[in-house]
Structure 1
Amino acid sequence: MDIENINELDRIPDEIVGKVETSVINTFASIIGEEPNYVKEENGEGPLNGIIGNVTVFNSEHTLSLMLAIPKDTALYLSEVFIGMELPFESDDMGDLIGEVSNILAGDVAANVEKVGFRGQSSLPTATRGSDLTLFMPTKPPTEKMKFSTTNMDFWLTLVLSESN
């Protein structure tokens, strides 16, 4: 896998995307007891009314950003299955929950992408909650938007591969 000339890439290498997909399926299956399905989409979704968990897997040369976009109904469902009760969506606890889910996912991603030569550690997670949220990337680095679905929820993961600063 060659990511040395990242400025010349028009997409994230399939080896990385495949390992991230495996991590998402494994992580969410362990949390909710059901494997999410990766859904290939022609067109992306519109603005999100929900919460976004942000975390990165990075090394001195490259950063793989993970933005986990979770609609409000999915966040409420996740709180119920993860901690056994529905958290108020507007609570600080909901932000902590999505940050923790993002952190668990990043740990699995870091372990899996190491298998294809991307060795890194994960950052501390952050969460952003709101309505009409739209993610814009300022410099157009290689990006992959992935949708996942189960019988009870949908969510998206946006990956961005960039040079570390």
Structure 2
Amino acid sequence: MSSAAVSPFSQAQPPPPTPSPLSFSVTSSQPPFLTANLFLRFLTLVLSAATLLSLAATSPTNSTLKKHSTTFWDYSQLVYCFTANILVFVYTLFQLFKGICDIAHRGIFISDKASDYISFILDQLAGYLLVSASSVAVQAIQQMHNGIPLRKAAIVSLCTSFASFVVVAASALLSGYRFCKRIIW
């Protein structure tokens, strides 16, 4: 009796493949990261839309003080705030669309590497635009007289613009983490 009898269950299995450092993908390995990122993008989209609507919805016929201008187009600071929020709204809409496509189609819309670079740079730019628009809107609010509806709308716009900045800053931290993880690890 030889001990070298071969059993059908003792065949050598090949070892599992070792992941290559070149096949790094953040989107496939971290779904909670993606859902948090999508939630932040959606919140930014809603806050930017609220900022835009609060400025655009003021009616010049409701003013009790006809001698003061009642549209935001008369204040260059509020026009800048409006324009910055339009840009952030469009960028956030693109990022939200890209995030949904990444989940649905497993990242074939834009490569992970290009997406990390784009998100990191443009999140920083969006944050800068929002904080500068909020700070400039304060000057416009100080120039307005009490009692005109545009002042109340500008205050609401300022608050939602700053809240949008806070959410974009959190989103920029996540994109910065993802960017650093791609470069360093």
Give TM-score scaled by structure 2 length: 0.24
Q: In proportion to residue count, which structure has more strand?
A: 1
Larger Rg: 2
Q: In proportion to residue count, which structure has more helix?
A: 2
